[in-house]
């Protein structure tokens, strides 16, 4: 974070740049400047997901793994919001907004969660 901020963007591969962005909003900068609201929403959604997860069958592995990835990603972004006042995004692909590893965990986890819940119904 300290080394990338002054340089703004570094090409790693032809399709991947490290680009320093401070995001005070949600995905694609929705609710930009709404850090306090997003902290509350994140905490409520994590608590709700952990609570409802207790009712899933133990063998719903995809759903459980997905829920944990979503919570881990939300927790990572929550940590940034609380300590820095924004989420630091740094991975840039062509034609896609800059994102971070926590965002990837949330997206992959949501896909696992959807697959796992579909599988058990």
Q: How far apart are CA 67 and CA 36, in angstroms?
A: 23
Q: How far apart are CA 66 and CA 70, in angstroms?
A: 6
10 three-class SS:
strand
Q: How far apart are CA 105 and CA 6, in angstroms?
A: 27
80 is catalytic: no
Catalytic residue, chosen from 35, 73, 89, 91, is 89
Catalytic residue, chosen from 103, 112, 113, 116, is 103
89 is catalytic: yes
Q: Which residues are catalytic?
A: 89, 103
């Amino acid at each position: 974070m300290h080394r990338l901020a002054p340089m703004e963007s570094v090409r790693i591969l032809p399709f991947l740049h490290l680009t320093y962005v401070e995001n005070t909003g949600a995905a694609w900068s929705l609710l930009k400047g709404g850090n306090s609201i997003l902290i509350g929403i994140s905490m409520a959604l994590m608590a709700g997901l952990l609570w409802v997860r207790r009712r899933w069958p133990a063998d719903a592995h995809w759903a459980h793994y997905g829920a944990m990835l979503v919570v881990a990603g939300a927790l990572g972004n929550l940590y940034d919001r609380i300590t820095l006042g924004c989420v630091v995004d740094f991975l840039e692909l062509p034609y896609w907004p800059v994102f971070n590893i926590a965002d990837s965990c949330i997206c992959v986890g949501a896909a696992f969660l959807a697959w796992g819940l579909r599988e058990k119904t």
